Every structure is written in structure tokens, then in C-alpha cells.
Structure 1
Amino acid sequence: MPVDVHVTVTIDPGGLPVLPDPDPGPRWWQRVRIGYNLGLLALSTPLSGPWSWVLAHVRDEESLAGAWVMALIPLAVLAVLDNARRAEAAGANPDMWGPKWRAAITRLLLWAAITATVLTLPITTLVYLMTGVRTS
């Protein structure tokens, strides 16, 4: 009596199964909230005045390089803190206002530091470099 034999062959490519890449979502320039940032920029203007005065005083009395160092260190710290606060607010429960307020206040301080630095140091630096003026 004949016997029917059926063979199934499965070829396994080996390794772990590869998951498809997740949807990347909108690009960073599509996620920028222009009105929010312009509003915080406008609100930060009164805060940038005293910091600009401090930077100008250091620039005039001490050195231009010292003023740049004094401006860039807080900018770097605020930029890292801003990133952390935005991530905290994005991961928080939408009903919690604390993380949103902390993120907004940090962004406000970052805009104040940026505004003070931009209004105080780059033009003077450019003039010093073009004219050869040295501060003692």
C-alpha cells in the first residue's frame, strides 16, 4: 500500500525579527510653536535688561572674552534645562500644570539670556575685530 508523505520546508533567515521603523512624526520645524515662542520672547524683554547691563559692565570693565564666557555658560545651562523641562512636560499628565509652568519659565529665562547676549556682545565683538581695538 503506497504512503503519501508531505514535507514542509521553512527557511529561517536567522537573527532577531526586524520591526519596521516607527513613523517619525512631524519634523522639528513643523513642531515649533511660533506664537508661544514670540509671546515668551516679548515677556522676557524686561528680564533681559539687567542681564544685558551685567554683560556690558563686564565687557567694559574686565574683558570681552570674560563677558562672552559669562554669557555662554548660563546659556548652555538654560538650554539643557529647557530641553529637560520640555521632555518632562511632554511626558506628564495633560491635567498637570506644574511641568508646563516649569517648562514655560525655563524657556522665558532662556529667551531673556539669548536676548541680552545678542543685544550686548556680537556687535561690539565685530567692531573690536574689525578695528583692532583691545580692551585692557
Structure 2
Amino acid sequence: MTVHIAPGGQQDPPNPDPPWWARIRWGYHLATILLALPLSGPWARVLADVRDTESLAGAWVMAVIPLTGLAVWDNACWIRAACAHTDLWEPRIRAALSRLLLWAAVIATALTLPIVTLVYAMTGVHI
């Protein structure tokens, strides 16, 4: 019985994609954030009104439920856009719109609720 061992074996396949931090499109995300700022105003006013008239917990619930729905929709749109044919624009436009609405909801929530929540938690004072 003779055993032959080939030195080297199979080579590892090359890594086709750069790491995730190199693939972030900074200009696209900054443009989306800037376009989402005017859209976040009405939602921030609704959250502030609920926070002031009803309760802080109610405002958080009103903020988190749409954020969750928008995040799921955004993920689904980006998966469809990634799998779509390169000539199709509609999935990419839908993905950009979903990201715009998600940023608007995130900005409105971030501007309206966290600071007041910290003030309530640290001081117990209702402002």
C-alpha cells in the first residue's frame, strides 16, 4: 500500500467582497438622512403631543411599533433590490424610499423621546 500526499492541496477561494465597513455608502446615507429631516418633523410633533398629553410609555410604544414595521419593510425591500435584475429600477427606488422613511422615523424618535426619558429617570421631574 502506497500513500501519496500532494503538498499544497486546494487553494482557498479568494474573498470576492470587501468587508462590510468598506462597503458602506456614506454619501448615500448622508443624503438620505438630510432628505429625511423634513419628513421627521410631523412625526416628531405627534410623538411630542402624545408624550405631553398622554404618557411617555405611550409615546415610546407609538414610536417603536412603526419603527419595527419600517425596519422589516426596509429589510425586505433591500433584499428584493439586491436580488433584482440590474436593469430594474423599481426595486431600488422602493428600497431607497423605505430607507428614507426609516430614517425619518428614527430621527423623529431620537429628537423627541430619549432626552425626556433620561430626565424622567434621573430626576423624577415631569417637564
Same fold (TM over 0.5): yes
Unaligned runs of 5+ in 1: 1-6, 10-19
Amino acid at match of 2:69: V
TM-score (norm 1): 0.80
Query: Which residue is equivalent to 1:92?
Result: 84
Instruction: Judge which range, 71-80 or 52-61, deviates more.
Output: 71-80
The alignment partner of 1:25 has SS state of coil
> Match for 2:60 among 68, 75, 94?
68
Amino acid of the structure 2 residue aligned with 1:132 = G
Number of the residue aligned with 1:33: 25
Q: Which runs of 5+ in 2 are unaligned?
A: 4-11
Relative distance call for 1:59 and 1:100 in structure 2 (3 A) is same
Partner of 1:45: 37
Q: Tell me if 1:122 matches 2:118.
A: no
RMSD (Å), alpha carbons: 2.4
Tell me the percent identity.
63
User: Aligned pair count?
Assistant: 123
The amino acid that maps onto 2:68 is A
Output the amino acid matched with 1:40. Answer: T
Moved beyond 2 Å, runs of 4+: 20-28
Q: Distance in 2 between matches of 1:36 and 1:62?
A: 37
Trace 1:3-18 onto structure 2 (pairs within 5 A): none
Which deviates more, 103-112 or 79-88? 79-88
